[in-house]
Structure formats: structure tokens, C-alpha cells
Amino acid sequence: MTPFVFLLALLGSAVSSVSAKPLLLPRAACTKESLLATADAYVAAQAAGSLDPLASVLAANWTFEENNKVIDPKTSVVATKKLTIDHRRTNTDLVQCATYTELISAADAANPYVIGTQIRHDESGKIVLIDSVASTTGSWLFNAAKTLQYVKQETWDVIPEDKWDAREVIQAAGDAYMDLWSDSTAEDKIPWGRPCRRLEGGAYTGSGREDDSCAVGIPSNHSQLPNTRRRYVIDQSMGSVSILCVWEHMMYAADQHEFRLEGGKLRYVHTMTECGGRTCRL
């Protein structure tokens, strides 16, 4: 053990013996402001249809993954589609130095997109991975105009710090939901809230009622292929976890599910599912 690692271990045991919490220190270069700045550069790039706005914030060795495939960034939706951004929200994960950004381009009927993008950074705050699901015509229940309409009805306020759920609680709720297809015990592990509204592509379980439910239409067959290769971005101030994964039971699609908890209860689910350029079907 090097002296530095030894010191960290000592510090870790001292802290955990006091608070009994795992030692999760944000990396030095990673602040909410710096994370939002690189997310802004990403959104500017998508609005320009060019990688240029990203140039100064990319690490020397970075990767672009789109719809679960590593691609040449020059062929990405960012570099090839100049989109009018009708909606944008970015969540920050200071522990992992990562962000999740939800983008909707609906007004331009020739280029409808609903995009969910996780961005990961290195120690110096530079981007090492852009990991994106870019849903469009043919994607599961796709309707950008409806997605935009429903998103605008929702309230995703910052949650006061004394009301934050633990990262583990937020992630466990998302994981339990993602296990519904392959685990018959998963449903009982989900902290269902009311009202809860699921925006699945352009379809919505919300009708403005206090008893709106996200349990509508969940799988009854728990012997399906699972949702695998899950990548997480967790923001306690939003009560949210974004999970990118392989949606194995539907054409091995590229999927993004985002969950928001309030006071430990599930309130919102947003989904985007892209089936490799083909039309998604069950």
C-alpha cells in the first residue's frame, strides 16, 4: 500500500465509523457548474449539427456511443443533424462526474428527435464518453410533439437537500422497475407513488388525476429476456436515475429509462427505445 492509499484507507475508516456512510467523495475537477458547462457544449453542438462546440471540452481519447453502438462521432446525430431544441433538462451526478440530458426536437417535422444522453468526464473534467439514445420515427411509441406536450406539464423542481433520497434508494427503485421483465419479485420492490406518470415514447399514463399510476401496462410475463448493460446517472437533487441499457426482450433495442422519486416514492418515468433503425415491435 502506498502512503497515499494508506491515508485514504485510514480516512475512509475514520469517516465511516462516524457516519456509517460509504465514502463517496466527488472528484476534484467535477462541480455542478463544470458538468453543466460541458452539457451546454453538447446541447450547442446538437443545435449546430456540428462537433465544433465540443472541441475544447473533449478528452484526447473519447468515445461516442449512440444507440448502444460505438460509432465514429462524425456520423452521429450530433454531427449530422442540426436540431431545433424545444426542450432540454440536464441532471448532474457529482459522484460519478457525469450528466444526463433529455432533449426534444419536435417543431421541425422533418427532424423529430427525443434524445437521452449520458456524458462521463475524466479527472480534469474533460468528456471521455458521450453515450446517447437518439429516438426518432420508428422508435417505440415515438411522437416527439406529444412527448414535448407532456414534458411541459410536469414539474421537475430541485428537491430541498433535507428531503433527498439516498443514491442507493433511487438506483434500487430504477433497477427494480428494469427487472420487471425478468424477475417475478421485482414488482413488490418498486416504491410505487401516486400520482405517478409514465411517458413511454409519446404515450402517457397521466391524465391529471391524483391516482395516476405508473403500474399501468407493466409486464405480466416475468420470464422475458432481461434489460442488461445498465449505465446509471444519479442526481439526488432531482430524485432521479437515468438508466441506459440493452432492451433485450424488444429486438435488443437501445433503451433509456429515467425515474424520479419524491420522498422515496416513484413519481415520473420517461422512456426512449430505439430499435437499430428499424421499427420497434413486440
Ligand X SMILES: *[C@@H]1O[C@H](CO)[C@@H](O)[C@H](O)[C@H]1NC(C)=O
Residues that bind ligand X (CB under 6 A): 61, 63, 221, 223-224
Min separation Cβ 208 and ligand X, Å = 33
Residue among 124 and 223 whose Cβ is closer to ligand X: 223
Q: What residues contact residue 158 under an 8 Å CB cut-off, 6+ apart?
A: 237, 238
Min separation Cβ 67 and ligand X, Å = 18
CA angle (206, 209, 214) in 5-degree steps = 40
What are residue 234's DSSP bridge partners? Answer: 241
Residue among 65 and 102 whose Cβ is closer to ligand X: 65
Residue among 59 and 172 whose Cβ is closer to ligand X: 59
Q: What residues contact residue 178 under an 8 Å CB cut-off, 6+ apart?
A: 227, 230, 243, 245, 257
Q: Give the dihedral sign, CA 77/79/80/81.
A: positive
Residue among 137 and 224 whose Cβ is closer to ligand X: 224
Place of cell 400520482: 195
Residue among 63 and 111 whose Cβ is closer to ligand X: 63
3-state SS of the chain: helix, strand, coil percent to 5? Answer: 25, 35, 40
Contact status, residue 109 vs residue 235, Cβ threshold 8 Å = no
Min separation Cβ 128 and ligand X, Å = 7
Distance of alpha carbon 50 from alpha carbon 44, whole angstroms = 9
Min separation Cβ 223 and ligand X, Å = 5
Distance of alpha carbon 138 from alpha carbon 76, whole angstroms = 18
Residue among 152 and 229 whose Cβ is closer to ligand X: 229
- Amino acid at the residue 1: M
Min separation Cβ 59 and ligand X, Å = 9
Residue among 212 and 255 whose Cβ is closer to ligand X: 255
Min separation Cβ 224 and ligand X, Å = 5
What are residue 64's DSSP bridge partners? Answer: 71, 130
Place of cell 437501445: 254
Distance of alpha carbon 191 from alpha carbon 259, whole angstroms = 11
Min separation Cβ 131 and ligand X, Å = 12
